Amino acid sequence: MSRAPLRVAVLGAGAVGLAVIRAFQDASDRLAPDDGAPLSLVGVAVRDLERARGRGVPSELLTDAPAHLVASPGVDAIAELMGGDEPARTLIAAALAASKPVVTANKHVVAHHGPELEAISRRTGAPFRFESAVGAGIPVLGPLASELAASRVAAVRGIVNGTTNHILTAMASAGRPYAAALAEAQTAGYAEADPSGDVDGDDAVNKLVILVRLAFGVWLVPSSVERRPPTVAGTGRPGIGGVTVDELKAAAAVGLTVKLLASSRRLDDGAVAATVLPTALPSDSPLGRTGGVDNRVEIDADPVGRVAFMGPGAGGPATASAVLGDLLAVARGAAGTWAGLPPAIGPAIDAAPDPVDPRRFFASTLPEQLVRDQVEIETARGGGFIAAAQPLDELRAGLAAAGIDATLYPIAE
């Protein structure tokens, strides 16, 4: 017995939206599950109709009025791929309020308006799915909410931004200055014309907020997640903007590399510590070896131990894969991304500061002997050093006494 199709409207035809639309055009056989309704594309909302036509989107599907598609009785489900805050948030909320399932790759909206949208979704019973918002094509949110639901998660960490990882990899492996590596990422389509959301760590913060929601049952206030690494005199630039080629060379000399690491863990008092910081990692560790646009997310839980998810974390096709997977899940009657997890506890809360102190740090500074005279170090080579585990305040005081200022990169094992 044939099933009525699930009629889908796509909002946005950028890199991800266009890849989704092309899947409907070229691979429709894979969008008709045996255990669910076949997917049917019935509308596409864009700002520039002529440009969309020129990119192969059929004229009969196009409109420049996304709200009309959301309200249309001829649309069963919405794929929001516009990005940004508004009007995306309003459109998602309106669709969920009308009991229409929503699939989105918009990590900003999910992270900043998660409590509101989750409440609407649970009230109306409309599935809200956002697998593609973290890790692009890597299936990590589904397993975290479903297959790992019986385990108590203690910590989640990972490289979750492909743009910054691509830049740091180019700087470390080819010695390219930051500006040149950024320009290369922009040319390759991995970085936006305004790259601040990626390089300043905002994108990674949004993804960490989403991971924390599924791992620990709370929404975090994104602005409360620390993005600035410590320096001797205070704090550095957010994200990777302050990382230099010389620092990466010095890190390599002592067996380390620097990555933008999103980290969270459950504290004994129930609070959640969360940071997104440029962090020194052993070069031969799984995270240290994760290069280019690849992402890697590691989850520590009891009784399963550590599990990891790795794959392409940027690009339209990879993200579209997860969007289409979520649409197929809706067609099969699946619930929201949180699956059977209970509702989040209360409104969004502030992230707790990372309480690890004392800890080891890496820094790049000269002269080596002056550093040795002021602080306890484990290794010094190639212009860089690893400070032995000690309170941050003591390390700062010792280096300040030597007249040294430098970025202090926390070392994660």
pLDDT tens, position by position, 26-61? 988 888 888 999 999 999 999 999 999 999 999 999
- The pLDDT of 249-261, averaged and rounded, is 96
- For residue 189 the two structure tokens come to 């389509």
Q: DSSP alpha helices (H): ranges in 295-342? A: 316-331
Position 1 pLDDT exceeds 60: no
Q: Which of 85, 20, 7 is nearest to 330 (CA)?
A: 7
Residue with tokens 């599907």: 61
| Region of poorest pLDDT, from 276-290, 342-356, 373-387 | 373-387
As a whole number of angstroms, the distance between CA 351 and CA 216 comes to 12
| Region of poorest pLDDT, from 56-70, 104-118, 142-156, 394-408 | 394-408
As a whole number of angstroms, the distance between CA 270 and CA 104 comes to 30
> For 215, left (φ over 0), alpha (ψ -120 to 50), or beta?
alpha
Three-state DSSP at 316 gives: helix
Question: What's residue 318's pLDDT?
Answer: 87
Question: What's residue 374's pLDDT?
Answer: 75
Question: What's residue 16's pLDDT?
Answer: 92
Tens-digit pLDDT profile for residues 67-122:
999 999 999 999 999 999 999 999 999 999 999 999 999 999 999 999 999 999 99
Tell me the average pLDDT of the chain.
93
Position 167 pLDDT exceeds 60: yes
Residues of the chain above pLDDT 90, percent: 79
Question: What's residue 402's pLDDT?
Answer: 81
- For residue 113 the two structure tokens come to 């308006």
Three-state DSSP at 342 gives: coil
Q: How many helices (H) and strands (E) does the chain have?
A: 14, 15
230 strand-pairing partners:
235
Question: What's residue 23's pLDDT?
Answer: 94
> Is 207 known to be catalytic?
yes
As a whole number of angstroms, the distance between CA 247 and CA 243 comes to 7
DSSP state letters, 160-200: --HHHHHHHHHHHHH---HHHHHHHHHHTTSS-SSTHHHHT
Question: What's residue 377's pLDDT?
Answer: 86
As a whole number of angstroms, the distance between CA 204 and CA 197 comes to 9
- The pLDDT of 343-357, averaged and rounded, is 89
Position 369 pLDDT exceeds 70: no
Active-site annotation holder among 100, 207, 249, 259: 207
The pTM assigned to this predicted structure is 0.94
Position 366 pLDDT exceeds 90: no
Torsion of CA 327, 110, 134, 278, to 10 degrees: 170
Q: Are 382 and 245 in contact (CB under 8 A)?
A: no
As a whole number of angstroms, the distance between CA 229 and CA 224 comes to 14
DSSP state letters, 270-292: S-EEEEEEEEEEETTSTTTT--T
- For residue 202 the two structure tokens come to 């905002």
Q: Are 232 and 397 in contact (CB under 8 A)?
A: no
As a whole number of angstroms, the distance between CA 26 and CA 253 comes to 49
Three-state DSSP at 190 gives: coil
